[in-house]
A and B are shown apart, each in its own frame.
Chain A
């Protein structure tokens, strides 16, 4: 099973990259689960035609008891992708990190992986690894690899470095390891050089180079990924190539 957590600075395009990567895996015949770990709960919206799934936190807020089935807190989107959103508390209140842990505990209780038997699980995680809750997706049993999304913008690279350091802090534990960088271009000056300099200094590979693309924006306006809405565009090809790369690596490393 391929299990990847996607991290990166807020607004850098994590959800766009995650949803497109999920759609690419599905197009390549894989059974995929995408779990949005962000109180905004918009990670999977472009896999669902623009209609959001009920977040787990919203379900728990309105019901006395935990759901009995995964179906109560999920929707099936493009390519049969199972879409789940943790959601979170009312902005400014509560503890979003705790919401992620609660969701993961619930999914374990519902035996999500055993029941659904996915080939690929993608976790789309809010911003930096700010607290224990936001590190939950990289714990043993969850993601095995971390992909960091960044552009060549200074603050995006700063956040990328923080994420890498945070993950490295858990080097003594059986947590996920940083697999590489997704360069999500914003067309800033010297972008490739800047991202490459960061990746080299961190000893990381740039696993995908996603061009700035009007196709992505156009498809998102329709509630779609480019894999679904513009499968022949360059961005779609890059996501498909990344998915194939990760599949090939998994196949090679399998015992």
Chain B
């Protein structure tokens, strides 16, 4: 049966992507779902709840609400909560049950906005797609709503797009990327959306280039390109070698007004390594593994970023991932530890915990491999020596 995972888990769902993308922006996110599911979106798929509040609510949809199509109850509840909380904006999004009953989120959002006077965004999640699609839609909606044209920041201003704990955990990696940009002489404008407020990211048009650090940021980057002419560069600055390429790409993108994707790697000679994960992050790691014959396996939507070629495979289903690994026969696999169970015999796992895949199982060991930190972690050396980590 296609797309059924027998052994490995599935990635966090689109609804979690919306909640994660909007967590720090001061809006109220309401998931239309049965009561009791709040913890999935706000704790199991979200590490920030421990020390940071966010207005994430569940509508507590009941069986009778679903049968009767009681839209009014949902709209009235959201309106009442919004009057109490006075959020900067409201986002409503769906889960499998509203999908089945055909709940019209666009119409409900318009009604809520008319009653509250607060901008209300409808997300078209249904709980069956990946977090990348949810986060992409949320980031896309935010840039369309709030980013307005304005004077450019001094120097080469940069936005970071696609930052969520689902891809980076709370490992400090996003903060390190900010620092790396500063160290390279760039001016930080905003980060979508960790560590910055809605006011900060509304200034995004002041940037001269966007750094897309996950596939979740690609749709927003494309909008900012089309609307404000800001080019984008895709990549995560892992290792000094690839970080150098990325920094040059950011400058070149400004000079040439061109979108650049240095995370699409073209392979080197050496030991065979498979990297499994988000297209931008996994591609960046594969390119950072200089002197390795690396192949990216992307089990997530990539917004058309990665080609399907010798060096990159799109394989969402467990059986397809197994097939690619079996055909490629890598010596090492850089992937979340939960992939261990489907690795071919002889392949050695290099742990690359991914919060959207294994949640809090390995959250303490989610890496920050920004710039020199990746060189220092010893992975490249151990691969070269063929050592088990």
Contact = CB atoms under 8 A, between A and B. Distances in A.
Interface in B70-120: 100-104, 106-107, 110-111, 114
A131 B69 contact: yes
Contacts of A135: 102
B269 interface: no
A172 interface: yes
A30 B371 CA distance: 61
A131 B107 contact: no
Interface residues of A, number: 17
Interface residues of B, number: 12
Contacts of A101: 102
Interface string B121-146: 00000000000000000000000000
A187 interface: no
A174 B102 contact: no
Interface in B1-41: 2
Contact of B103 (A64, A132, A170, A172): A132
Contacts of B111: 172-173
B316 to A, nearest CB: 12
B107 A98 contact: no
Contacts of A97: 102
A140 B107 CA distance: 8
A132 B107 contact: no
A131 B104 contact: no
Interface string B235-255: 000000000000000000000
Interface string A18-62: 000000000000000000000000000000000000000000000
A contacts with B: majority SS:
loop
A86 to B, nearest CB: 13
A212 interface: no
A133 interface: yes
B2 A131 contact: no
Contacts of A140: 106-107
Nearest to A101: B102
A172 B114 CA distance: 10
B102 A136 contact: yes
Given A131-B69, A132-B69, A173 B104 contact: yes
A139 B71 CA distance: 15
Q: Which of B69, B100, B103, B104 has the most CB of A within 10 A?
A: B104
A174 B107 contact: yes
Given A64-B2, A173-B111, A132 B102 contact: yes
Interface string A117-156: 0000000000000011101100110000000000000000
A233 interface: no
A175 interface: yes
A95 B100 CA distance: 8
Contacts of B107: 139-140, 170, 173-175
Interface in B257-276: none
A67 to B, nearest CB: 16
Contacts of A136: 102
B12 to A, nearest CB: 22
Interface in B203-240: none
Contacts of B104: 132, 139, 173
Contacts of A64: 2
Given A131-B69, A173-B110, 13 more contacts: A95-B100, A98-B102, A132-B101, A132-B102, A132-B104, A133-B102, A136-B102, A139-B104, A140-B106, A170-B107, A173-B104, A174-B107, A174-B110
8 A-B pairs closest in CB distance = A132-B102, A173-B107, A101-B102, A133-B102, A132-B101, A64-B2, A98-B100, A132-B69
22 contacts: A95-B100, A97-B102, A98-B100, A98-B102, A101-B102, A131-B69, A131-B101, A131-B102, A132-B102, A132-B103, A132-B104, A133-B102, A135-B102, A136-B102, A139-B104, A139-B107, A140-B107, A172-B111, A172-B114, A174-B107, A174-B110, A175-B107
Interface of B: 2, 69, 100-104, 106-107, 110-111, 114
